Amino acid sequence: FEISKSDEKELDVYEDFPTLYKKHYFYYYGKRVMTYTMVRKSVFTFPTERYLNIVKRGYKDCGLNQKLLNQGLKG
């Protein structure tokens, strides 16, 4: 996805950056990309239904196979 600087700032708030996640930039196929990684490990908990629905919508919007997501949720 391409996002604006203001979208990135909103995403930072949503992802609780820099408290919960670190942000990393790198180049992929010549494009500068960004990703978040967790700052510290925590006990595994399942995502909230709200968050899971956001992820499922993202999978659908991007044409990704939801079987992989469902397998991951089974542990």
pLDDT digits (tens, 9 = 90+) for 11-34: 999 888 999 899 999 999 999 999
Q: Do 31 and 55 reside in the same domain of the chain?
A: no
User: Does residue 32 sit in the same domain as residue 53?
Assistant: no
The DSSP output letter for 45 is -
Q: Which domain holds residue 53?
A: 43-75
**Beta-carbon contacts of residue 11 (< 8 Å; ≥ 6 apart):** 3, 17
In whole angstroms, give the CA distance from residue 43 to residue 65: 27
Are 62 and 75 contained in the same domain? yes
Burial 33-55 (b: 16+ CB within 10 A, else e): eeebeeeeeeeeeeeeeeeeeee
Tally of domains in the chain: 2
Same domain assignment for residues 59 and 34:
no
Residue 75's pLDDT is what? Answer: 64
Confidence check: pLDDT of 44 > 90: no
